[in-house]
A and B are shown apart, each in its own frame.
Chain A
């Protein structure tokens, strides 16, 4: 019945993610994972430095205040924030909480995440800066 396939298939361009701002944001969000991984590396370097004595710790502090290092970490921080914000925004979509017959409204779930984020951040800062 079908004559030869004469349908037109639009090729997907290699830069499809640049076509719309929303796609770009999506790709940036996905790339945030690279900076998450970078943080793990950075953290392990810190731990290794601290555990091998004050001298190497000071070395680490010096290395970390190199302008390039700071620039990298500022970028990483921006990405990690992007990750956190988009992540919390997504949570109420996956989670449907029910207390009795009451369905916890999505906004409340969102607010709870931000609340927890604040508490945890303050606690961590307190432990470190105490």
Chain B
């Protein structure tokens, strides 16, 4: 049998790395910036401090990696959720283009935003 090998492994690798990065980094970041600071449990860092941390090239690189991987993680998972949850397997190609395309566009935007911060 000569089934053509699919691009799935690469999508899956991105999905997996994204899943790992998201699991390791997002909870703490979201907890701090989404809940703790807004609720005032701790006072948010000053602009200067945060700007110093955020504009550091290493930070930007890490954040860029996180954004790209997390977006592709989303794209992959969401694509299957649409297939299965909404039984849209017939629309598979369109969904795939929309999801991965969305992640790619998102990545470009992320690059733009992050470079601007440099």
CA distance A17 to B67 in the complex (A): 30
Report yes or no: A42 in contact with B33, Cβ–Cβ below 8 A. Answer: yes
Residue among B26, B29, B110, B114 with max Cβ neighbours from chain A (10 Å):
B26
Chain B residues positioned under 8 Å from A65 (CB to CB): 37-40
Tell me, yes or no, whether A25 is within 8 Å of chain B by CB.
Answer: no
Report yes or no: A117 in contact with B30, Cβ–Cβ below 8 A. Answer: no
CA distance A1 to B106 in the complex (A): 56
Report yes or no: A27 in contact with B85, Cβ–Cβ below 8 A. Answer: yes
A31 to chain B minimum Cβ distance, whole angstroms, is 7
CA distance A70 to B47 in the complex (A): 21
A97 to chain B minimum Cβ distance, whole angstroms, is 16
Which B68-113 residues have C-beta < 8 A from chain A? 70-71, 73-74, 76-78, 80-81, 84-85, 87, 106, 109-110, 113
CA distance A39 to B18 in the complex (A): 13
Q: Which residues of B contact A (CB under 8 A)?
A: 18-20, 22-35, 37-40, 42, 44-45, 47-48, 50-51, 53-55, 63, 66-67, 70-71, 73-74, 76-78, 80-81, 84-85, 87, 106, 109-110, 113-114, 116-117
Tell me, yes or no, whether A4 is within 8 Å of chain B by CB.
Answer: no
Report yes or no: A70 in contact with B39, Cβ–Cβ below 8 A. Answer: yes
Report yes or no: A34 in contact with B78, Cβ–Cβ below 8 A. Answer: yes
CA distance A17 to B33 in the complex (A): 33
Report yes or no: A77 in contact with B30, Cβ–Cβ below 8 A. Answer: yes
Chain A residues positioned under 8 Å from B84 (CB to CB): 17
CB closest residue in chain B, given A30: B81
Report yes or no: B116 in contact with A37, Cβ–Cβ below 8 A. Answer: no
